[in-house]
Amino acid sequence: MNTIVSIDASSAERLEVVRSAERLAAVEADWMHLWHRTDALIFQSHAWVSAWWNTVADRDQRALRIGLVWNGDRLVAIVPLAIGKRKGLRFLEWAANSYTDYGDILIAPECSLSALQGVWAQICDAGGFDLAFLNRLLPGAAARKIFTPDVSRGIRLRPNHREEVSYRVAGPWKSGAAWFEDQSKKTRQNYRRGIKALEETGKVKFRLLAPDEPLQPVLERLAALKRRWLVQHTRESQLFEEGTPVLAALVDALARAGLLRIFVLECDGVMVAVSINFVQRQVMMAFVTTFDPDFSRASPGIILIMDYIQWSIDHGLGMVDFLCGAESFKNKFATQGVILQSVLGTRTAQGQLAFLADRMRQTVRHVRGRGVVPTP
């Protein structure tokens, strides 16, 4: 069921909360028009959200809560949220949250702040969740308008201790070769040794996949390699489970938007490392990178990263963004890091109890970190 309510009789702005797949599909054209107008990232596109919603394995355990603001027949704001379940709690979070590195809303300049806050209030009033948790917020995220201190409608969102980091590579290099020479002597030597080790098996080739190359073999190879890595590190991810369509759907969204860049490192025609990237705002963004552990001695994943960094610089891109995650290889090459913040609010007694328990755990960690023994 979807709800549309006028703010007042004199306003042309209307509010809507999308809760069905049918309505989500129906607003595609308007959503994409606003997405282009606001120059938003792919994570806030209709293609990305619908690719996730149409393929997510546990959709019966989730619910859409996508807020829309209309000005007449023009869509002027989108708050793309959904409800998911974790650890016995229901979370209001970004739609496609598991695959969204930067969460945000879409808002046109003519959208009023009162309408934006009004649609947030409607989402909150619709209920169905215990906690609202919006994470991975860039410093300039438009979503911050929802939880300014003077907001009086809907659930109050406050800064949360959970933060993530986004590492980037940016600098004054005129060429990829200049960037390479700017690396440490050890890094350059390791790169050359890795290439030499791979060449013992066969001819080594770095390349960008052509737009007309079949994607399925590449995605199957990447998913298989990623599953091996996950098993070795006792982790799980629905994105790479055999037979699941979500990875292909997200990559298709990137391809249809004209953003997709897939880089491979081949040894004697066999892919030993793969990176699914995309380019937006003159930035190379690295979505998924993996390598064949059978060739780990040569560090093919690092070789591939160094190759696509050089490719990006040579093709005039201003930055390489490794997106979320503090993996050591990202910090190795990064020249800057951006802290991604989160906000949280409670709606139910269960949510409030979970919040208080989490705050208590944080207090204990803080006290222990300072070496202070709490008095009995």
* pLDDT, one tens digit for every residue, the chain (376 residues): 555 554 544 457 999 999 999 999 999 999 999 999 999 999 999 999 999 999 998 888 999 999 999 999 999 999 999 999 998 999 999 999 999 999 999 999 999 999 999 999 999 999 999 999 999 999 999 998 887 655 557 788 999 999 999 999 999 999 999 999 999 999 999 999 999 999 999 999 999 999 999 999 999 999 999 999 888 878 878 888 888 899 999 999 999 999 999 999 999 999 999 999 999 999 999 999 999 999 999 999 999 999 999 999 999 999 999 999 878 888 899 999 999 999 999 999 999 999 999 988 888 887 776 655 444 4
Q: Are residues 120 and 180 in the same domain?
A: no
Q: Are residues 189 and 211 in the same domain?
A: yes
Q: Are residues 212 and 277 in the same domain?
A: yes
In a domain, 166, yes or no: no
Q: Give the per-residue pLDDT at 90.
A: 97
Whole-angstrom Cα distance, residue 67 to residue 19? 9
- Residue pLDDT, tens place only, 48-100: 999 999 999 888 899 999 999 999 999 999 999 999 999 899 999 999 999 99
In a domain, 68, yes or no: yes
Q: Are residues 187 and 328 in the same domain?
A: yes
Q: Are residues 251 and 121 in the same domain?
A: no
In a domain, 376, yes or no: no
Q: Give the per-residue pLDDT at 326.
A: 78
Q: Give the per-residue pLDDT at 376.
A: 46
- Residue pLDDT, tens place only, 124-158: 999 999 999 999 999 999 998 887 655 557 788 99
Inter-helix orientation angle 28-37/46-55, to 10°: 140
The residue among 369, 321, 359 whose CA lies nearest residue 165 is: 321
Residue 32: domain span? 3-160+342-368
Main-chain dihedrals φ then ψ at residue 322, nearest 5 degrees? -80, 5
Q: Are residues 129 and 50 in the same domain?
A: yes
- Going 24 to 27 to 31 to 32, the CA torsion angle's sign is positive
Torsion of Cα atoms, 53 then 54 then 58 then 62, to 10°: 40
Distant-in-sequence, close-in-space partners of 33: CB < 8 Å, separation ≥ 6: 75
Q: Are residues 183 and 42 in the same domain?
A: no
Q: Are residues 359 and 251 in the same domain?
A: no
Q: Are residues 59 and 126 in the same domain?
A: yes
Whole-angstrom Cα distance, residue 95 to residue 82? 5
Record the tokens describing residue 286, joined without a space. Answer: 């690295």
Whole-angstrom Cα distance, residue 224 to residue 90? 32
Q: Give the per-residue pLDDT at 2.
A: 53
Is there a contact between 171 and 237 (Cβ–Cβ < 8 Å)?
no
Whole-angstrom Cα distance, residue 197 to residue 178? 24
Q: Give the per-residue pLDDT at 370.
A: 67
The domain spanning residue 237 has which CATH number? 3.40.630.30
In a domain, 229, yes or no: yes
Q: Are residues 110 and 195 in the same domain?
A: no
In a domain, 240, yes or no: yes
In a domain, 357, yes or no: yes
Q: Are residues 178 and 324 in the same domain?
A: yes
HEC string of the chain equals CCEEEECCCCCCEEEEEECCHHHHHHCHHHHHHHHHHCCCCHHHCHHHHHHHHHHCCCHHHCEEEEEEEEECCEEEEEEEEEEEEECCEEEEEECCHHHCCCCCCEECCCCCHHHHHHHHHHHHHHCCCCEEEEEEECCCCHHHHCCCCCCCCCCCCEEEEEEEEEEEECCCCCCHHHHHHCCCHHHHHHHHHHHHHHHCCCCEEEEECCCCCCCHHHHHHHHHHHHHHHHHCCCCCHHHCCCCCHHHHHHHHHHHCCCEEEEEEEECCEEEEEEEEEEECCEEEEEEEEECHHHHHHCHHHHHHHHHHHHHHHCCCCEEEEEECCCHHHHHHCCEEEEEEEEEEECCHHHHHHHHHHHHHHHHHHHHHCCCCCCC
Total of domains in the chain: 2
Exposed e or buried b for every residue in 248-257, given b needs 16+ CB within 10 A?
bbbbbbbeeb
The residue among 186, 151, 156, 219 whose CA lies nearest residue 347 is: 156
In a domain, 141, yes or no: yes
Q: Are residues 265 and 352 in the same domain?
A: no
CA angle 37, 41, 42 (to 5 degrees): 105
Is there a contact between 184 and 358 (Cβ–Cβ < 8 Å)?
no
In a domain, 373, yes or no: no
- Going 356 to 361 to 364 to 369, the CA torsion angle's sign is negative
Q: Rg for the chain (alpha carbons), in Å?
A: 23
